Chain A
Amino acid sequence: MSIFSIKDVHKSFTNGEVEEEILKGVNLSLQRGEVTALIGASGSGKSTLLTIAAGLQPASNGQIIFKNENIAAYNQEQTRKIRAKEFGFVFQSSHLVPFLTIEEQLLLMLDVAETTLNKQEQQQEINKMLKTVDLEHRKHAYPSSLSGGEKQRVAIARAIIHQPKILFADEPTANLDSKRSKEVMELIQELTKTLDITTLVVTHDEEMLAYVDHIIKMKDGIVMGQGV
């Protein structure tokens, strides 16, 4: 069942006097409980598409349908609320808040998502999530004391602690070695299934495709092909 779809999305940038079209009418849809990978060469527009889909930048044209509404037409505040409550993000770098402990990173996300859980329930949720990403023992550690793999696991935990509907991941394994990359992708795959969320992941690493359900290949701003 499609929970999220992108319809005829265009994106142009003005570079000096030249207008460059990065996305030339992209259509795709994401299925609930599935990991979809966006692949393609550098400059194919995959990261731009992901950031537009995630509401991090506007499209020049087209529709982004989520829960039967065109969120591309939302104003800044409406988009912020969607990002806070319905979406989760994992970036290439973990982008953790350097002065918050692991536990506090997750608490902040629950705060931002305006959770209805009480303090005790929040704590239980955090403990459960840290157990899932196998970082219960690093609860009070700051990001500076974590390894690259651990940081990405915290980033994943932060991205899904508020139980979003969609998880966006932009090259989440780009800065990790092969072993840790596999661990991170396994975790994303597992959480997508167990929490019944929908994941869109951008990757250029073909080895990671073993962990996805659906593949969309992009070239020169258009979808070249789809596969399972």
Chain B
Amino acid sequence: MNIAWKEMKKNKAKFLILGSIVFLISLLTFIISGLANGLSDDNASLIKDLPEGQFYMSEDAEQTYNLSTIDNETQDQILSEHTDSTAFSIQRGFVNDNDDKQHGVVFVTSTDSNLFKNVDSGEIILDRSLKDDGIKVGDTLTNNQFDDTFVVKGFVAQKKYSHSPVAYINTADYKQMYRTEEMQLIFIPDANDSLTFSGLESFSNKAFLQTIPSYSAEQMSLNMIVWFLVVISGMLFAIFFYMMNVQKIGLYGILKAIGVKTSTLFKMMWTQMLVITSIALVLSVLLSQLFNQVAPEGMPFSLSIMTTIQLAIVFFVIGFIGATLSGLQIRKVGPLQAIQQGEV
């Protein structure tokens, strides 16, 4: 007989409360996780969207890409040896639209490559968020450091860097604006850290992200919130199951007295944990994914189904451990306690 199910059916309110708490905490964790991912994308989608590989900047830049300059000889040598590699530069700046309204952007330029958008001189491709600001294809944009004008050729989806929209420009235009002949960085896809070049420091994708000002501090804070919530939920699971078990000590005692196995009582508790957690997690996964679809355009929110499933698995494991730890007291309950404790 499935006594776990019978108990849940009879005590709907008690289990509904427990399920609601699991649902609310997991939903909160998923939403915070979505915001963390969203902010991460907002900060560095330009880099995060690149394939795994190695970034190189000059050693004397001391891990500050803004200060990096890679001499043309080295650049040409690397690009010729690694045909899929690219040299690129990133600089903060502004563009003024037709109404002379200023928009903060991050200018990105690269040598010929499929990894970044390449445009002709005088052209510009922008992140889609600027389209929402009223800029259209064909508009003319100006920059006070650029003698000529930029014509908007198109928009790309979700290409941000340091919370600013990316603006792809031609290398010649970039060199003119920033009075430089050298690029800051080189990226070689599929390379590993064993590939080194004299005078250049190499970074994995993950290591390079940490060089972005504020990125690591921001992500560390958000990840701490997510994992703090996961730990708190684990403790809540344990506390709630513990309280439920304390209430049921008399019942466990009487069941043991009539000969029910301790393993049956554990199965009863695990079944209840599994049913409650499954229903609560399915609901919170669905709701968080729905929110992912309907989140306001300007809100940095990104929650992949894979992240949600990974977190849901963590919740299951934590729920199982929490319930089991709190259930250890079942083993200690003696059948005699039931007789001494009065009505169950």
A pairs with B: yes
Residues of A within 8 A of B (CB): 51, 56-57, 80-81, 83-85, 89, 91-100, 104, 107-109, 111-113, 142, 158, 170
One of A97, A108, A158 near B344 (C-beta < 8 A)? A97
C-alpha gap A99/B9 in the complex (Å): 8
**In this assembly, does B251 line the interface, its C-beta being within 8 Å of a C-beta of chain A?**
yes
Stretch at the interface among B186-194, B228-236, B330-338: B330-338
User: Cβ of B251: which chain A residues have Cβ within 8 Å of it?
Assistant: 97-98
Tell whether A95 pairs with B344 under 8 Å between CB atoms, given A51-B339, A80-B259, A80-B261. yes
**Is there an interface contact between B259 and A91, defined as CB atoms closer than 8 Å?**
no
Q: Can you list 20 residue pairs at the A/B interface with Cβ under 8 Å? A: A56-B335, A80-B261, A83-B259, A95-B254, A95-B338, A97-B254, A97-B255, A98-B251, A99-B3, A99-B6, A99-B9, A99-B11, A100-B3, A104-B1, A108-B1, A109-B258, A112-B258, A112-B259, A113-B259, A170-B339
**In angstroms, how far is the closest chain A Cβ from the Cβ of B235?**
27
Instruction: Indicate the member of B6, B11, B250 with the most A CB atoms within 10 Å.
Output: B6
**Is there an interface contact between B258 and A84, defined as CB atoms closer than 8 Å?**
yes
C-alpha gap A51/B335 in the complex (Å): 10
**In angstroms, how far is the closest chain A Cβ from the Cβ of B3?**
7
C-alpha gap A97/B264 in the complex (Å): 15
Could you list 20 further interchain pairs (A-B, Cβ under 8 angstroms) beyond the known A84-B259, A104-B6? A56-B335, A56-B336, A56-B339, A57-B334, A80-B259, A83-B335, A84-B260, A91-B338, A93-B342, A93-B343, A94-B343, A95-B254, A95-B338, A95-B339, A95-B343, A96-B344, A99-B3, A104-B1, A108-B1, A111-B1
The chain B residue sitting closest to A110, CB to CB, is: B1
Tell whether A57 pairs with B7 under 8 Å between CB atoms, given A89-B257, A109-B258, A111-B1. no
C-alpha gap A98/B339 in the complex (Å): 15
C-alpha gap A109/B257 in the complex (Å): 11
User: Cβ of B260: which chain A residues have Cβ within 8 Å of it?
Assistant: 84, 112
| Mask of B302-343 contacts with A, CB within 8 angstroms, 1/0 | 000000000000000000000000000000001110110011
**Is there an interface contact between B258 and A83, defined as CB atoms closer than 8 Å?**
yes
**Is there an interface contact between B257 and A142, defined as CB atoms closer than 8 Å?**
no
**In angstroms, how far is the closest chain B Cβ from the Cβ of A182?**
23
Interface size class on chain B is 20 to 34
The chain B residue sitting closest to A107, CB to CB, is: B1
**In this assembly, does B179 line the interface, its C-beta being within 8 Å of a C-beta of chain A?**
no
One of B3, B250, B258, B334 near A89 (C-beta < 8 A)? B258
C-alpha gap A100/B335 in the complex (Å): 19
The chain A residue sitting closest to B259, CB to CB, is: A84
User: Cβ of B255: which chain A residues have Cβ within 8 Å of it?
Assistant: 97
C-alpha gap A158/B259 in the complex (Å): 12
C-alpha gap A167/B3 in the complex (Å): 25
**In this assembly, does B101 line the interface, its C-beta being within 8 Å of a C-beta of chain A?**
no
C-alpha gap A79/B225 in the complex (Å): 50
**In angstroms, how far is the closest chain A Cβ from the Cβ of B271?**
14
**In angstroms, how far is the closest chain A Cβ from the Cβ of B266?**
15
Instruction: Indicate the member of A94, A96, A97, A112 with the most B CB atoms within 10 Å.
Output: A97
The chain A residue sitting closest to B338, CB to CB, is: A95
User: Cβ of A98: which chain B residues have Cβ within 8 Å of it?
Assistant: 10, 251, 344
**In angstroms, how far is the closest chain B Cβ from the Cβ of A74?**
13
C-alpha gap A93/B259 in the complex (Å): 18
User: Cβ of A99: which chain B residues have Cβ within 8 Å of it?
Assistant: 3, 6-7, 9-11
User: Cβ of A142: which chain B residues have Cβ within 8 Å of it?
Assistant: 10
Q: Which 5 A-B pairs have the closest CB atoms?
A: A84-B259, A99-B10, A95-B254, A83-B259, A99-B7
**Is there an interface contact between A56 and B257, defined as CB atoms closer than 8 Å?**
yes
Instruction: Indicate the member of B9, B259, B343 with the most A CB atoms within 10 Å.
Output: B259
Instruction: Indicate the member of A81, A94, A95, A104 with the most B CB atoms within 10 Å.
Output: A95
Q: 8 Å CB contacts to A: which residues of B144-198?
A: none
